[in-house]
Each structure stands twice: as structure tokens, then as C-alpha cells.
Structure 1
Amino acid sequence: MTELLALDDVNVYYGPFHALRGNTLTVGEGEIVSLLGGNASGKSTTMKTILGLVRPRTGTVRFAGEDITQASTRRRVRAGIASVPEARRVFPEMTVDENLIAGAYTRRDKAGIAEDLDRMRTHFPRLAERRKQQAGTLSGGEQQMLAFARALMSRPRLVCMDEPTMGLSPKLVDQVLDEIVRINRELGVAVLFVEQQAELALSIASRGYVLATGAIVLQGTARELLDDPQIQEAYLGKAV
């Protein structure tokens, strides 16, 4: 599998606090990879590092073969990295269509944006039905679909998702996971997503990384991680 994203020996500090400790991870073209860990494990900092919101003190971040360690967030979006932030964070006072158009803020090809807007309406029929509705009035599941669609408006090669199932009912969680798989398979977009629920995350991922106190402590295929005694004890509630 062709490597799309690579973090190599990345160290991130917040002042004197060592937030990420020599982490190395990869995401291949068209791959779904999960990033697991509890609170304050370094998951969100890893995402922020990939998006350019924080910069590593040492180490490199590469995307599609290019060193983007010092690149701005805007440049990374143009290169093909999009994000679905934690708790959805749609623009509540804007309509569904206005939210989608905002996802294409780095683009200048009006015809292409219009084409992608139509494509999102086809891909997400519920959003098409609510295109003129304020985003803040949508259900939690609909807002998550809108956040997905908005990210896709930048025509990304990689989508980074931060806790996409947070605060959703079990039924909506299943819908969100199904949508991640559909985006990946139908559009060929790679996905890196943060999740605290290991069994859910590894049910759709090909590989995973486990973070603890800023360091990657486990990695492997989804099956390997699900069978690992440490994962079973820490995340699945099984005595080992």
C-alpha cells in the first residue's frame, strides 16, 4: 500500500510539558486507521500536529511524499488533508448548503465547487432535503453527516476525524461508522480517526495505534489489537 501520511519520531511540547514522545505512524492511500487512547493520551495533539495547529519540536510530518512539518493549515488543506472536528462543530446559524460551501474555502474553481455540492446532495440525501435549513436545528446524526460532507468539499485524500461517535445514540453510532466505511470505499478517501471505544474503532479499521501519556505503546492490525490482552483489559473490560 502506498504511504500517504507519515509522522516520523515526532516530539511535541506545550511549554515544558512533553505532549507527544517520539511518535511514528503511517496511513496508506485509501486506508482506515484508528488512533486509540484514553483522556490526555495525546490523541488530539496528534491530530493537531497533522493539521498544522501545533508544530513538533523535532521529527517530521510528510504527506504524499512532501515534508509538511512547517506548512500552514491552509496549505495542508490544499494538499488534501481535511478534518471532522470533535463534537461536529457545524456553523449553527448557517444553512446546510452554506456549511458545505464553507468546506471549499481554499478552492477557487466555482464550477468544481458547484459540481461537488451536487455530489454531496446525492451522496447525503438527508442533507439535500434540509439544504436551506439552519445547521443548528439538525439532529446530532445529521450534523455529523454535514460535518463529513463539509470536509469532503475540499476534495481531500485524507480525512482526520476526532471522536466522530461522541454523544450519539447507539443507533446513530452505527450509522456514523457505516458512513465512514462508505466514504472510504466509494470515494477512495483515507481516514484517520480518534476513538476511545476500541471495539467500535477496530471494527472498521484495518490498523490501529494505541497512545498512552503521549507515546504510542501498541500498534498492529485491527485483529491483532483486538486479540491483545492489554487492549482486552484496558478497553474491553475483560479480565486477563
Structure 2
Amino acid sequence: MSTQGGEGGAGDRSMLGWLPVAWVCIVMALAARGVDGSLASIWSYSYPGSVLAFIYGSMAVGAVTIAWGLYLLWLVYQRSPWFARQFTRWQWAVIAALVVKQLYVLAAPDFAFSLTALAWSLGEIVVGVAMIVLVKRERQDRPAALAAPGAPRPALSVVASIGLVLLGIVLGGALGLAAGLGGGQLYASATDMSCFEGGCGYFVIFMGLAGIIVGALAGGIFALWRVLGRRSGQPA
């Protein structure tokens, strides 16, 4: 009976161990929805400077949250022992961003207090802290890794290497697009650029396209460097 109880407890812990992974996917989906809504609102409405700064900052935070979350999912796919530590860092960063956003909303005069938004942020923080505690317990219950700290990492397959490079290109392009559009909009507003016949809009679009190219190249090169570095560390 004790053996069955032990197996049941291990199975329950194994099922609970997937909750942080599901939470990462949920937070990434919320971040993607926020970025999409922010882009739509920027093109549809005119906001004061403090609101625009909040929107662009939220978009940047959302992009980082998604990129970091994809890295966490990659660690899960690789069954990497570094997932717990990286998840904890990611979750604390998300919590810090939520706190900063709420403080900014309370301090900026152009925002109205929303009890619903505050309750939603508090709910995300509570769930995030619970996920950190769960990951910490899972890490303590798990036996120590057999490999030494300096042991070589598992080799990446050709398909996985190509997928990682493509992921770097896509993420780099997305981040470049957000940076290009945001930077172009801020520059056009700061310099009072003329919008005659859509001049300022064309400039912002051009900056966004340039950001896609630069970001995709930078992301692809960085991912390729990581893949080659990992392969070069493998034993012959």
C-alpha cells in the first residue's frame, strides 16, 4: 500500500510539474494579445505622451516576455535542468513588470484608476508566485543530476539547429518591427514631422521594415552563433 501511495504521490507531482509550462504559454498568449491590441490602438487613436510611453513600454515588455517564454519552452523540449532557474528568473521579471506598470498608471495623470485592471494584475502576481513555489519544490524533490557541471551538453540535431536559427530570425524580426515602429513614431512626434500626404506614416512604416531586416539578421546570427557554439563543444 505504501508503494502505491508513493507512486500516486509521484504521479501527482509529475502532473503538477507541467503547470508552470502551461502558465508560461498562458502568459505568452496574454502578452501577444496585449502587443496586438497596442499596435491596433496606436494606429487608430491619438494619445498624450505619457500614454504613448506606457503603450510602447508595454509592447517592449510583451515582446521580451514572449521571446524569453519561447526559450523556456525550448528548455522544456530539451529536458534541460536549467528550466527551473530560468523560469524563476522569468517569472520574477514578469512580476516586476506588472508592479512597475501599476505604479506608472497610478502616478501618471492621464490614466484613470481601474479596479478590474488592478485585480487582474494581482491575480497574475499571486499565480506567478505560486508557480515559483511549485517549481522550487519540484527542483528540491528531483534527484541531483548525474552529469558533472562541466559535462558536455546533448547535441542538437540538424532539424533542431535549423529550427533554432529560424526561431531566432522570426523573433529578431518581430522585435525589430516593434522597435522600428516605436522608434519611428517617437522620432516623428519629437521632430513634428509633416504628415502631409501621409509622409510621417510612410516614415514610420519604413522604420518598421528596416527594423524587421536588421532584427531578423541579428536574431539569425545570434541563433547561429549559439548553435555552432553548442556543436563545437561536443566531443569528437
- Please tell me the TM-score bracket, short chain as reference: under 0.3
Q: Which structure is higher in RCO with an 8 Å CA cutoff and minimum separation 6? A: 1
> Radius of gyration: which is bigger?
2
* Structure with the larger strand share: 1
State the TM-score, normalizing by the size of structure 2.
Answer: 0.23
